[in-house]
Structure 1
Amino acid sequence: MSKKEKLPKKKKSFIRRLFKWTGITILFLIIAIILIPIIFKDEIKELVLKEVSKSLKADVTIEDFDLTFLSTFPNVTIQLYDTKVTGRTEFKGVELANIKTIEAHVGLWDVIGGDEIEIDEVHISDAKFDVRVDPAGKANYDIVIPEDEKPVADQGPSKFKMSLKEYSLNNIQLVFDDQASDMYANIKNLNHTGEGDLTADIIDFETSTKIDEVTLEMDGLSYLSKVKTDADVNLLMEFKEDDSKFTLKDNSFALNNFHMSLDGFYQMLKDHSQMDLKLNTKEISFKDLLSLVPSFYQSGYESMIAKGDLKMNGEVKGRMDDKNMPGWDFGLNVKNASIRYPALPGSINNIIVDAGSKFAGGSNLDLMTLDVTKFHSEFVGNLIDANLKLRNPMTDPLIDSKLKAKVNLATLGKVMPLAEGESYKGKLNADVALNGRMSAIETEQYEKFNAQGLIELFDFLYKSKDLNEDVNVKDLTFRFSPQNLSLEKMNARMGKSDFAMNGKIDNYLGYLFGKKKEDQLLKGVFAFNSNNLDLDQLMGASTAPSAATTSAEPAPVDPNTEPLLIPDNIDFDLNTNIQKLHYNGIDVNNIKGNVNMKEEVASLNGLSMNTMGGTVGLRGSYSSKDHNKPAIDLGYNLKEIDIQEITTHFLTIEKLAPVAKYAKGKFSSSLNLKGDLTKALEPVYNSLTGDGDLFTNLVTVSGFEPLKKLGESLNMDKLSNQTFKDVKAFFSFADGKVTMKKPLKIKMSGIDTEITGSTAFTQEIDYKMLMQVPKSMIPAGIIKVAEQGLAKVNGLVPKLNIGSIPDIIPVNALVGGTVMKPVIKTDFKEALLKATGNLKNTIQDKGKELVNKAKDSVRTVVKEKVEEVKKDLIAEKNKIMADAEKEADKVRAEAKKGGDQLRAEADKQCNDAMTAAGSNPLKKKAAEIACKEGKKKADNSITKLEQEANTKADNIIVKAKEKADAVK
């Protein structure tokens, strides 16, 4: 072979080529995995927000958004962070949902080019849901816009399709408040998972649920209280065109220590439903049942020895449609039961419970029965017996019930654990019997309804660490009749306080068993009398103003907090006569008046009292008809009230009239005011409307920043501290402001002044002051220079004869900025020049040029001299005051630092006590009381520290001011 001949090219092996292209492919996939989320992230976020905005009548915000498929390839993971859904209409501002993380898994090719994105997994973590239904039945979760109400461009199916195979809820907090149905639920720390192909026609669906606490209330009754819940439920779900059936397979439910399971099915057909469900409680004991009773489960449950025969059954079976209900049979039977705590000498014996409810099914719910045939217990010589029979509940309820009890309350501690420091004394006797039909009550045929009985309490004494004082009821008599419940007498004492009460409640049977809402109105009339009522002692309050009272800002409000609600089915009158009351450091005497509660409105009628050095008359109402936004309509008449006392004890006064904090004296005032309140019952200031007036014979004001700034602007220090006589002010409220209805005419250091303007509740001020300033009050140096200027002009033009400065010079002052940082503008210079006369109109045309020159000369000389004199004086005074302010601020800062340390230590002790208490409610309550007492002591120390610092700082400022005033 010659050298010129080419050798054949050796082919690379298949393995090498395979590795090469495999490597390239993997590299490409890695790059795609990194780039695709970046490329499509914004597009998907915009798609999510667009779909949400066109589908919901609520505001949705998403703080952050992420897209990845590194961990879920070939699916894409969409992650939404800090998502909030907030009401837009009736529930404006209410957060329906606040979700920390939402994670959804979707197909990769759906994201890249599909017209529809299928979601096959959803996981929600760290979320709070606030679900509400108002009294009219409107729900804040009803936020999906119906298809026919959407704009034409937004109609049609959503780009997102649910095809779930797995979902989870982790660390969920849920509050459900249905005011239309009088149902409330609070679920804490819910963790739930579900697995199964929800797109299939037959699904094996597996769920697991764990909840730390469940509280459930309906119609004013508590059914579950902080119950720990575990549930594992497996369902066989079968879906056909007009037939969906759910069959319970392996399942278990645990409520605290109460374990049960359900067997059967629930089937949805075209026009009705069928069900057959049975409760299985074969393995539970009497002690397990007691775990559902808070007083047993939350106090010494583990050591409690409970014995007895227990039978419990439950079954729901039959048809349910628009007219029919399925039948049911529930029963509870306890015999030969007892409860004993090893550490206590006594026990609760011979416990018998025989109760149940039955209904055969169908449309006539009047055939339903409810029976508590027997409820009986004995302990340490005490006896409790009760029964209840209810028939025809829908048409004409027949009630047959008895209650007998004879209890020496001092023996309770022998059979049940009591909290540390808790004890009872006294005797309770009860013998009540009810028998008859509601129709007899409705037609006022009381002789056909037997309702009689008596509840008596003698020498009752209750002690507890949770209470600041012992409760001592000398005697109490409560009598039953068909017409009413009568509190014949109650005489009680608590600490320094005494009170007596009597009255009656009408229509209590209609309230309990009435069929129609109008039949359920509960009426009552009570009289409350007290010689001395010390609420500060009863509530453990400090005699000094609390931090909440003196703070410039209200404490933050829990979003789940409900305002004080007045029930819509009561009509109560309370007539009050209190000789002496002490509250929040205020002494109030001779309180008389009436409080009425009706149709969700509480009204004050003719309430009068003596307090704060004068007399107070109140009238008005508080309405909770709008449960999210209570309203007030109030009025008062005050006579000779001490300004400092009312400002110290009522934060609102400082908002309405900031000058009051710096004033001393007495005043009289009347006011009419309407507006809304927050959930914490703080005024919504922008909603306030009304008007009022204020009169005072003599009031002094010192340290008020706007007056200080006005004095500096006019070089008249005496304006800083004022004594006003015979002040008459008329004002109105609107748009978040207090506005002068009429010009306020006053004398300020002998200066006749007329004031108009307004103060915003946010402390911005906008006032105009017209001041008639006497020539004698203007600094002598300025007047002398001005007169020398006039003499010079007259010397230049002898025949001009301008004249002298008048005795009164009108000066306008505009006061803006805020109360603490006012901005003052005056026309003092212009007014002084104008006071010399109108030169232009007093001269001949031939002297115009000379006169203009003379005017300029006067203006220049006066202005320069005024500025020179003011500048020197102000500079020296400012230095004195600035040095004093620095020293005062240092004193206050040291006091604040000390206060912060005291507050931090109190908070730490509180947190340590709450942690140590754990979930034990009694220890937790004790910890709360200790917290309250510790914070109260800290607040007292802080207040004292701040007062001492303020006094020291004020003295520094006063001495500096005296020194500055001496500068002439």
Structure 2
Amino acid sequence: MKKFLKILGVFLLAVVVLVAAAPFLFKDQIATIIKNKLNGALDAQVEFADVDLSLFRAFPDARLQIDGLSIINKAPFEGDTLFYGKEVKLDLPVGDLFNDASDPIHINELVINDATSRLKVNEDGKASWDIAKVDSTAVVVEEPQDTTAGFSFDLNHYEINNADFSYEDVATKNKLRLMNLTHSGNGDFSLDSSTLDTQTSAQVFYGMDDIEYLSGQQVELDADILMDLANQKYTLQENEALINDLKLNLDGYVQMVEGGTMVDLAFKTPSSDFKNFFAVIPEVYRKNLDGITTTGDFTVNGVINGMVDDVHIPKLDINISSNNASFKYPDLPQSVTKIDIDTQIKNTTGLAEDTYVKIGNVAFNIGQDRLKGNALVRNLTTNMLVDLNLDGTLNLGNLSKAFPMGDDMNLDGTLVADVSTKFDMNSVEQERYENINTKGTASLTDFNYASADLKNPLYIERADLDMNNTRIKLDNFKAKTGNTDFAANGTISNLMGFLFKDQDLKGSFKVDSNQFDTSDFMTETEVETTETNSANSAAAATEAIKIPSFLNADMSFNANKVLYDNLTLTNVKGLALVRDETLTLNNTTTDIFNGNIGLNGSVTTKGDTPLFNMALDMNDLDIAQSFEGFEMFQKLVPIIQALKGKINTEINLNGQLNNDLTPIISSLTGDAIAQLLTREIDKNKAPLIAKLDDRLNFINLDDLKLSDLVTKLNFKDGAVQITPFDFNIKDIKITASGAHSLTNDMSYKLDLNVPARYLGTDGAALLSKLSDEDIDKISVPIPVQLSGSFMKPSVDLNLDLAVKNLTNQIVEIQKARIKDKGKETLDDAVTDILGGKNPLDGIKDAITGNKKPSDTTQTQVKDSTAVTKPKDTTAIGKAKEEAEDKVKEAAGNILNNLFKKKKS
């Protein structure tokens, strides 16, 4: 007996080990079978990330879990995801795991988590879910089809958790989406007739022909469904449906028949309390209803009956009504009374285009004011026809007394309207305004609106709309916000398209303002404190000014004063075109800095970073005021702060803008032509000018003449490039060229052409033996290199090059005078030039070694371009070389003394 028990124990242990190991032993085989079955049965690409098998979790069934299951469509929906499930669990008999690939797999329970399904019908009526493969060789017989292949669903339980389901019919422009869908059912699908217990909840979005009828309403359904699987008929039994919080009772059935689906459903509200009205409103638009008191009724009932196929929809008869109802919030002083609602949604033919909505009457009172309207909307799926009427007076201040508006919102003013309109959507879309019949008037007076979204309250003194023609005329519009006032009049050409078809608001307006402050249209928000901020405060970030994307308008404007970025512009006039979040300015002029600016260009806020492209014509601007007011001048031409007088300039610029629409200097690209109208320089305001004045002692900068100086600048890659230009200090010609970065690091060159007469007394002695004609021919080029920054400049003089040039000129003149003479004659010529020991004893002392210490601030730069020539070893050659050396040394001392002398 013990031996038997021992054998039995070993056998049971082996069975347990085998059962535990089976999922691992057969995992790959099972994955292959499932993938082959799905791909063999479906005309789509089926993939999954992983397969897991357990023989214990759903015992006695096996639990098969498929992760990352995806079904991707082939043509004509190639690449579209028909279904994706993050996790799909199936419970099936253990024996089915070992079936041949041709044998069916029976599914007893199905769980799908985190799924997405996209169903679509294209223009040709082809459905994306029609992916079952058809055997073209099969013979049609009357007997039931063989189900010995693929999958057999004998479900007792199924559930779908957190799914996103969408359906779109391109031809009929129907769109349905169920978000956060949760659905479960318990029943026995193996029986011909049984009851399925279901629970469903989802957010529902539904639209047709670009009109959204349901926009995220929460729908719940708890229903028992009698399933007649033999006849494919599903009948609602005990049930309760919720749309938001509106309760509905449903009755009827849905049956699959040849060629379509038969629907016969009726629904109604179980109660008629007016609180049902608030249940229909999406939760985001309603506040806490605790304590609200209501009178009157609100009912919803309807019938949906008929065939659904490729041509027909069910017939509809849906009624929404209320009569003499009222409500009042407990903490608010005003009631909304005499509420009447009479609305029908009907279709009597079963054709979608014959569906219409009739709003016979909608009206309510707030205090003594009554607002009422009615409408008829037909041809919902084709060229929709709208007939709308609105009439009444509404004191907007009473809205906040009757509705919870929020602590950060304040509304006041009076709206008076008497408007009727008839139009069809095709005419609206195609802007055939002659087919839009609108008449009536509307006015808004003493309108005041305050909100956290606005920096300052908006006050509209008056605005009148005259709708007695195809275009809406705006009259007497006067408004104020913060420091800004403006008045406008003009026309609106497509108000119906703006209101009903999401078109841009098109119009033409004339705007006048006494003062326009751009800061009134900007708000500040707090951002997180960074390490560079103080410990107890947060930095303020300015939100970007955005050009309205819906505005398509032409505006001529005239403003006496515009405040922008610490600037005051006066007499601002021009034409503004607004298109696609882009503002284009044409022929715009303004007075500023005692001068005038003309501007043409554009600003766009369409992208993440605002961009601009501008051409400015600046005339007679005061230089000092311009430098203080324009950050652009401070970065682009910092030297201008030392000048007094006026400037004319033409600037073409493009680049990026900050959130407050001021230029990002480092992004600028363009060019400018500047003309200076000045004769005065303030050396104390420019260290560079002062440093030059100190180094160039033989020049008096008071003699600098910049009047009518014209130069060209180029801006690119964060630098300013100066096109070479000439100016004079008396008869000294100077050529300037170079560039500086926008951080004011500079690299400039001044080429001075100094006449011989500026060489001082030493130079006069050196040149005294030359003729006046020869002296007039001599000028010394002196290169000056400027580096460092404008505030800490470095000035370097290339005296080696100047000495060499002066020497060459003197020697060449003398060589021409003593051509073909011998050594003695050349020596005499040189001695004659140097004048013996008189009058240049100082120079000769320097030649013999008694030279004064050189100025260590001067930089001597060798001429790297010099070419070494073979020495002339003849007597005459040696004499020439000695003579040239003496002249060169004398010239060098003269120039060094020249730059060390004090001004007289």
Shorter-normalised TM range: 0.5 to 0.7
TM-superposed CA distance for 1:322, in Å, is 4.0
> Are the counterparts in 1 of residues 612 and 654 from structure 2 also a CA contact under 8 Å?
no
Letter in 2 for 1:723: M
Label 1:427 to 1:247 Cα distance change in 2 as closer, same or farther (>3 A): same
Contact (CA 8 Å) 1:469, 1:495: kept in 2 or not?
A: yes
Give, in whole Å, the separation in 2 of the partners of 1:494 and 1:586.
19
Q: How does 1:874-913 map to 2 (within 5 A)?
A: none
What letter matches 2:239 in structure 1?
Answer: N
Structure 2 CA distance for aligned equivalents of residues 158 and 131 of structure 1:
30
* Distance of 1:632 and 1:147 partners within structure 2: 52
In the alignment, what sits opposite 2:280?
A: 292
CA contact (8 A) 1:377 1:384 kept: yes
Tell me: CA distance 1:544–1:505, structure 2 relative to 1, closer, same or farther (3 Å): same
- For 1:35 and 1:361, how far apart are their aligned partners in 2? 64
Which of the numbers 535, 541, 547 marks the counterpart of 2:524? Answer: 541
Q: In 2, are the aligned partners of 1:410 and 1:425 still within 8 Å (CA)?
A: yes
Say if 1:510 and 1:416 are closer, same or farther in 2 by CA, change over 3 A: closer
Kept after mapping to 2: 8 A contact 1:484/1:507: yes
CA distance in structure 2 between the aligned counterparts of 1:808 and 1:527, rounded to whole angstroms: 68
Which residue of 2 is the match for residue 486 of structure 1?
473
In structure 2, which of residues 151, 164, 168 is the aligned counterpart of residue 161 of structure 1? 151
Q: Taking structure 1 as reference, are residues 292 and 312 closer, same or farther at Cα in structure 2, changes over 3 Å only?
A: closer
Secondary structure at 2:15 match in 1: helix
- 1:210 maps to 201
Aligned position for 1:308:
296
The 8 Å contact of residues 529 and 578 in structure 1, kept in 2 or not, is answered as: yes
Q: Partner residue of 1:234?
A: 224
Query: Could you tell me which amino acid in structure 1 is paired with residue 62 of structure 2?
Result: V
1:490 Cα deviation from its structure 2 partner? 3.2
Q: Find the counterpart in structure 2 of residue 469 from structure 1.
A: 456
Q: Distance in 2 between matches of 1:535 and 1:100?
A: 52
Q: Which amino acid aligns with 1:230?
A: E
SS at 2:398 equivalent? helix
Distance 1:341 1:574, change over 3 A: same
Which runs of structure 2 are paired with 1:687-836 in the superposition (5 Å)? 697-698=720-721, 723=746
Quote the Cα distance in structure 1 between the aligned partners of 2:456 and 2:248: 44
Aligned counterpart, 1:754: none
| Count of paired positions | 638
Pair 392,37 (structure 1): closer, same or farther in 2 beyond 3 Å: closer
TM-score, normalised on structure 2? 0.56
* Rounded Cα–Cα distance in structure 2 between residues aligned with 1:545 and 1:306: 46
2:443 aligned partner: 456
Give the C-alpha shift of residue 117 in structure 1: 4.2
Question: In structure 2, what is the Cα distance between the partners aligned to 1:633 and 1:137?
Answer: 40
2:396 to 409, 414, 439: 409
Distance 1:577 1:86 in 2: 57
1:186-197 map, 5 Å: 189-197=180-188
Once the two structures are superposed, the pairs formed by residues 620-631 of structure 1 within 5 Å of their partners are: none
Identity of aligned residues (%): 24
Specify the alignment match of 2:244 in structure 1. Answer: 256
Counterpart check, 1:110 vs 2:96? yes
AA in 1 matched with 2:524 = A
- Larger deviation, residues 273-282 vs 50-59: 50-59
| Cα distance in 2, alignment partners of residues 158 and 574 from structure 1 | 72
Deviation at 1:254, TM superposition (A): 0.8
1:279 maps to 267
TM-score of the superposed pair, with normalisation by structure 1: 0.52
SS for the counterpart of 2:459 is strand
Q: State whether residues 408 and 425 of structure 1, in contact with CA within 8 Å, keep that contact through their aligned partners in structure 2.
A: yes
CA distances 1:13-55 after superposition (whole Å, capped 9, x unpaired) = 9xx84x5565444323321232112223344456667778896
CA contact (8 A) 2:271 2:299 kept: no
Which amino acid in 2 is paired with 1:287? Answer: K
Query: 1:450 Cα shift?
Result: 6.2
Match of 1:850 in 2: none
Gaps in structure 1 of 5+ consecutive residues: 1-11, 150-156, 548-563, 624-629, 655-659, 671-691, 700-717, 727-746, 752-773, 778-805, 810-834, 837-968
Shift of 1:383: 0.8
SS of alignment partner, residue 412 of structure 1: helix
Are the aligned partners of 2:473 and 2:490 in contact in 1 as well (CA < 8 Å)? yes
Alpha-carbon distance, 1:481 to partner = 3.4
- Alpha-carbon distance in structure 2 between the residues aligned to 1:536 and 1:139: 55
Aligned to 2:21: 35
Task: Return the match for 2:59 from 73, 78, 81.
Answer: 73
Are the equivalent residues in 2 in contact too, given 1:286–1:310 (CA < 8 A)? yes
Higher fraction of helix? 1
Q: Distance in 1 between matches of 2:307 and 2:130?
A: 31
- Residue by residue over 1:328-353, the C-alpha shift from the partner in whole angstroms, topping out at 9 and shown as x without a partner, is 21112211311012222221112111
Q: Do the aligned partners of 2:613 and 2:655 also contact (CA within 8 Å) in 1?
A: no
1:118 positional shift = 4.4
Partners of 1:693 and 1:286 in 2: CA distance = 69
> What CA distance in whole angstroms lies between the structure 2 residues aligned with 1:190 and 1:748?
79
Give CA deviations for 1:251-284 in whole Å, capped at 9, x if unaligned. Answer: 2211232100221122332234432211132335
- Mapped partners of 1:698, 1:21: distance in 2: 99
Q: 1:80 & 1:584 partners in 2: Cα distance?
A: 62
Aligned match of 1:333 in 318, 321, 325? 321
Q: Any conservation in 2 of the 1:123–1:169 contact (CA below 8 Å)?
A: yes
After superposition, the Cα gap between the structure-2 partners of 1:531 and 1:651, relative to the gap in structure 1 and judged at 3 Å, is same
Deviation digits for residues 533-589 of structure 1 (CA, Å, limit 9, x no counterpart) = 666654523699999xxxxxxxxxxxxxxxx9989xxx9444475968899999999
Distance 1:187 1:470 in 2: 40
Q: Which residue of the partner structure matches residue 795 of structure 1?
A: none
2:670 aligned with 1:668, yes or no? yes
> Counterparts in 2 of 1:351-500, with a 5 A limit?
351-363=339-351, 365-366=353-354, 369-390=356-377, 400-434=387-421, 451-481=438-468, 483-500=470-487
3-state SS of 1:309 partner: coil
8 Å contact from structure 1 (residues 420, 465) kept in 2: no
Residues 258 and 288 in structure 1, CA contact (< 8 A), matched pair in contact too: yes
Conserved in 2, the CA contact under 8 Å of 1:498 and 1:532?
A: yes
SS in 1 for 2:290: coil
Question: Whole-Å Cα distance in 1 between the matches of residues 635 and 123 of structure 2?
Answer: 46
Deviation at 1:237, TM superposition (A): 3.7
Q: Distance in 2 between matches of 1:110 and 1:748?
A: 96
The residue type equivalent to 2:160 in the other structure is L
Aligned-residue offset at 1:309:
2.8
Give the AA of the match of 1:422: M
Match in the other structure for 1:827: none
Question: Which AA in structure 2 matches 1:356?
Answer: Q
Residues 121 and 487 (structure 1), Cα distance of their counterparts in 2 relative to 1, 3 Å cut = farther
Instruction: Summarize the Cα distance change of 1:435–1:195 in structure 2 as closer, same or farther, 3 Å threshold.
Output: same
- Aligned 8 A contact 1:61 1:83 in 2: yes
Aligned to 2:109: 121
More deviation, 347-356/77-86: 77-86
What is the CA RMSD across the aligned residues, in angstroms? 6.3
Secondary structure of the 1:33 match is helix
Shift of 1:313: 2.1
| 1:59–1:88 CA contact under 8 A, matched in 2 | no
Structure 2 gaps, min length 5: 136-146, 531-546, 617-629, 637-652, 658-662, 673-714, 723-740, 750-782, 788-797, 802-861, 869-904
